[in-house]
């Protein structure tokens, strides 16, 4: 049976680079300066980077003790090298979004074979619009979670198949460090950690309960050290997120998840209003149904190595998806219904697509055609999102994953979120303030953070009564 991308060498070696290039081209139009303005939430990463250059050492995103500041330190390095340009805050997540595609190829290849690896990567390159946009935004931890989580899965798979003691301690130590950094960066790393534990319990149970796990624990503490230093000094404030809320809340969260959040993440809803978007929903629904059918048929009719390979992919994707959905339903993540809190689901979804193609091809040489509806649906969703941005119809809240109208939450009349076209440009304001010699102002969050970043703190703007940066509040008085 010929491979999915069966082309003569050396052209075959160009397939993965072509997929990576496609991923970059899909995301470029959504970067500020190309397709949209700098968002206020995004600008907070730049503000943190400026504070780092002043000698401060933030551990978390202001007010959110589960989102580590690693990305802000990377942005600070870029500011130090090239100057504090607002567009630079998008460099790290943009590059990481491409890295995730490459890592997903390796993950898919290890679990599903060459065809499965390429389809897994392609499913993330031509991803649903929410991953394309939000994954390229500097939101402190989301795209990093996908990257670190995929690395964790790769390490876990290697350990699960490594029965030689040589190098095992090093792998466990590295596994722990990656898990620790991920834990500090964003608690959404937990589904990946849980999946690795399940893989090891299935294949190497003695490793999980043996003394070797001490190396992983040591690495975890080292990787997450900033988290622990902060929490020991602040009454373990971060762990408030673990509270599940009042009894009886799990069912509303589950309903919110399965009726709305999953379809949003999968690309079946319009980012502008959170409503169903038929040009993407129809082909996506058909495509995933076809791949599921192909996967089931292949597993029932194949008694050879392909079935064992697909079982590994099924276990990894299924356990990761299960842990992700449970974390949404059983914690405060599910209270707002924000789809960003099931971000790890994208890894499981891509593995499902890769496994579906691999399984379909065990029965039909052209089984990769079953993936075309999924890719077409994602392209339609991305094109629709881009058209909304260019037309000024995209609400700024869509970029935060807090879609108004989502989960039945609607604002009072006259208080709907501003569309991007309604967010004022800063250049005229900056020119006016500089002419008047004004270096500190009070402004709404939608302007204050952007203004401070745009001027590299030459003009400091604070929010009335809600400023999170003590240095800025003191400067304005």
| Cα 201 to Cα 212: distance, rounded to the nearest angstrom | 14
**At 125, phi and psi to the nearest 5?**
-70, -50
| Cα 265 to Cα 352: distance, rounded to the nearest angstrom | 15
Between CA 418 and CA 420, with CA 419 as vertex, the angle to 5 degrees is 115
The whole-number mean pLDDT for each consecutive block of 10 residues of the chain, a chain of 477 residues, reads: 46 84 93 70 91 92 86 95 92 96 95 89 95 88 95 94 75 96 95 95 87 92 96 86 60 84 90 84 91 73 57 88 92 78 95 84 73 93 87 58 44 48 71 88 85 88 79 75
Neighbours of 363 (CB within 10 A): 13
| Cα 131 to Cα 51: distance, rounded to the nearest angstrom | 29
Axis crossing angle, helix 70-82 with helix 91-125, rounded to the nearest 10: 120
H-only helix segments in 302-410: 305-329, 333-336, 345-361, 372-390
H-only helix segments in 391-439: 427-436
Q: What is the largest CA-CA distance in the chain?
A: 78
SS3 (DSSP) at 234: coil
Evaluate whether 4 touches 103 at the Cβ level (below 8 Å).
no
SS3 (DSSP) at 194: helix
According to DSSP, the β-strands at 64-68 and 60-61 are antiparallel
CA 362 to the chain's CA centroid:
32
Neighbours of 206 (CB within 10 A): 8
What pLDDT is attached to residue 399?
53
What pLDDT is attached to residue 36?
60
Evaluate whether 20 touches 98 at the Cβ level (below 8 Å).
yes
Between CA 116 and CA 128, with CA 122 as vertex, the angle to 5 degrees is 125
Alpha-carbon torsion angle 138, 144, 145, 149, nearest 10: 160
What the block records as the tokens of 322 is 């299960």
The residue among 340, 439, 462, 426 whose CA lies nearest residue 32 is: 426
What pLDDT is attached to residue 10?
58
442: which strand partners?
462
Between CA 269 and CA 273, with CA 271 as vertex, the angle to 5 degrees is 85
What pLDDT is attached to residue 405?
41
Burial annotation 211-249 (CB, 10 A radius, 16+ → b, else e)? ebbebbebbbeebbebbeebbeeeeeebeeeeeeeeeee
Evaluate whether 435 touches 293 at the Cβ level (below 8 Å).
no
The residue among 30, 27, 78 whose CA lies nearest residue 50 is: 78
What pLDDT is attached to residue 468?
75
For residue 135, count CB atoms less than 10 angstroms from its CB and return exposed for 0-12, middle for 13-18, buried for 19 or more.
buried
C-alpha separations of 362 from 150, 348, 372 in Å: 26, 21, 18
SS3 (DSSP) at 302: coil
Q: How many residues appear in the chain?
A: 477
**pTM here?**
0.90
Evaluate whether 177 touches 220 at the Cβ level (below 8 Å).
yes
What pLDDT is attached to residue 407?
42
What pLDDT is attached to residue 390?
76
| Cα 321 to Cα 409: distance, rounded to the nearest angstrom | 26
What pLDDT is attached to residue 129?
93
| Cα 30 to Cα 40: distance, rounded to the nearest angstrom | 15
| Cα 211 to Cα 265: distance, rounded to the nearest angstrom | 40
Alpha-carbon torsion angle 141, 145, 147, 153, nearest 10: 160
């Amino acid at each position: 049976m010929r491979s999915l991308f069966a082309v003569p060498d050396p052209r075959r070696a160009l397939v993965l680079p072509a997929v990576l290039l496609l991923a970059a081209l899909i995301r470029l139009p959504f970067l500020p300066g190309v397709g949209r303005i700098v968002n206020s939430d995004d600008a907070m990463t730049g503000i943190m980077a400026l504070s780092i250059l002043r000698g401060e050492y933030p551990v978390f995103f202001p007010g959110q003790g589960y989102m580590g500041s690693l990305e802000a330190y990377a942005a600070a390095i870029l500011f130090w090298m090239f100057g504090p340009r607002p567009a630079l805050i998008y460099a790290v997540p943009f590059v990481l979004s491409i890295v995730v595609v490459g890592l997903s190829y390796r993950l898919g290849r290890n679990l599903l074979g060459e065809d499965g690896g390429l389809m897994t990567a392609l499913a993330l390159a031509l991803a649903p619009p929410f991953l394309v946009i939000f994954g390229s935004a500097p939101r402190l931890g989301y795209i990093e979670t996908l990257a670190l989580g995929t690395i964790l899965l790769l390490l876990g798979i290697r350990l699960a198949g490594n029965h030689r003691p040589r190098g095992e301690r090093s792998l466990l130590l590295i596994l722990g460090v990656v898990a620790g950094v991920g834990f500090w960066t964003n608690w959404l790393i937990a589904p990946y950690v849980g999946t690795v534990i399940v893989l090891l319990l299935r294949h190497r149970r003695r490793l999980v309960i043996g003394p070797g796990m001490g190396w992983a624990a040591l690495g975890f503490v080292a990787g997450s050290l900033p988290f622990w230093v902060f929490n020991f000094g602040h009454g373990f404030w971060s762990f408030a997120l673990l509270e599940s809320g009042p009894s009886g809340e799990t069912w509303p969260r589950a309903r919110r998840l399965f009726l709305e959040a999953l379809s949003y993440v999968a690309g079946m809803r319009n980012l502008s209003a959170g409503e169903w978007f038929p040009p993407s929903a129809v082909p996506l629904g058909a495509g995933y149904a076809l791949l599921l059918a192909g996967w089931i048929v292949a597993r029932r009719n194949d008694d050879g190595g392909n079935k064992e390979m697909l079982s590994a992919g099924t276990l990894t994707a299924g356990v990761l998806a299960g842990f992700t959905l449970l974390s949404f339903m059983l914690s405060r993540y599910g209270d707002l219904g924000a789809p960003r809190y099931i971000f790890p689901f994208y890894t499981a979804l891509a593995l499902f697509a890769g496994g579906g193609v691999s399984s379909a091809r065990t029965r039909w040489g052209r089984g990769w055609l079953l993936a075309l509806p999924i890719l077409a649906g994602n392209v339609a969703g991305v094109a629709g999102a881009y058209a909304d941005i260019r037309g000024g119809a995209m609400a700024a809240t869509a970029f935060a994953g807090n879609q108004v109208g989502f989960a039945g939450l609607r604002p009072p009349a006259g208080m709907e979120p501003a569309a991007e076209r309604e967010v004022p440009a800063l250049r005229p304001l900056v020119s006016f303030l500089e002419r008047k010699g004004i270096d500190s102002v009070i402004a709404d969050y939608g302007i204050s953070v952007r203004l401070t970043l745009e001027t590299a703190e030459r003009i400091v703007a604070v929010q009335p009564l809600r400023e999170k940066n003590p240095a800025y509040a003191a400067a304005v008085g």
